[in-house]
Amino acid sequence: MTTETGGQRALVEEATKKSGLVWVDGQALWHVWVDGAMCVVGGGPGEQPLPALADGGAATVVVRSKDKGGRLVSWTADVALLPPGEQAWTAAVDELRGKRLNIPDLETVTERWARECQVFRLTPRGAPVESPGAMPDGSGAAVPVVTSATTRRPIPAGLPRLLLRRRGRRDTD
């Protein structure tokens, strides 16, 4: 594994801060950046599910470019569950509360998150797995599941005439 440089650390931090959505082990999550790490809340009623983080350990974070929308950087994170009430949990929740969209219970959300949800801190580990100039050739998209279902069928033979007839009526109105 290569060692991390200051520029790589800055890329991970800035890209993650600016992106409103990241993928953690294939799951899209909203997040905030607090004190050198990414923090997420979820797992409770009305919040984002966090199955990818439930076991802790390590995770791969994929960050998209804010302007182009494509994959910008991927990094490995050490995942830690923050216990409610600790200083790191409070700092993360203060930032998360400010970024949570459509929050139904602004006054009591901190207590609800402490009671019903989990807050995780994802700290970057080592050099990025992928970064500009070091991207894989493939798209990274999952291969579609083989199925007999289809959404594409030939259009009915009379449809073009029907559409032309309707268009003709509108033009004369």
Q: Report the pLDDT value the prediction gives residue 1, as an integer from 0 to 100.
A: 44
Residues counted in the chain = 173
pLDDT 10s digits, 100-147 = 888 888 788 899 999 999 999 999 998 877 777 766 777 767 788 888
Q: Report the pLDDT value the prediction gives residue 171, as an integer from 0 to 100.
A: 56
Q: Report the pLDDT value the prediction gives residue 2, as an integer from 0 to 100.
A: 52
pLDDT band at 167 (very low <50, low <70, confident <90, very high): low
Q: Report the pLDDT value the prediction gives residue 156, as an integer from 0 to 100.
A: 82
Residues of the chain above pLDDT 90, percent: 38
Taking CA atoms, 40 is separated from 47, 55, 91, 105, 116, in Å, by 10, 15, 12, 18, 14
Q: Report the pLDDT value the prediction gives residue 22, as an integer from 0 to 100.
A: 92
- d(C-alpha 150, C-alpha 98), whole Å: 43
Q: Report the pLDDT value the prediction gives residue 111, as an integer from 0 to 100.
A: 93
Residue 91 has pLDDT above 90, yes or no: yes
Residue 39 has pLDDT above 90, yes or no: yes
Domain locations in the chain as residue ranges:
6-136
Mean pLDDT of the chain: 84
Taking CA atoms, 138 is separated from 4, 64, 75, 79, 141, in Å, by 24, 16, 17, 27, 8
Closest by CA to 54, choosing from 33, 24, 34, 32, is 24
Residue 73 has pLDDT above 80, yes or no: yes
3 state DSSP class of 27: strand
pLDDT band at 72 (very low <50, low <70, confident <90, very high): confident
Q: Report the pLDDT value the prediction gives residue 172, as an integer from 0 to 100.
A: 56
Q: What is the pTM of this model?
A: 0.75
CATH superfamily of 6-136: Electron Transport, Fmn-binding Protein; Chain A (2.30.110.10)
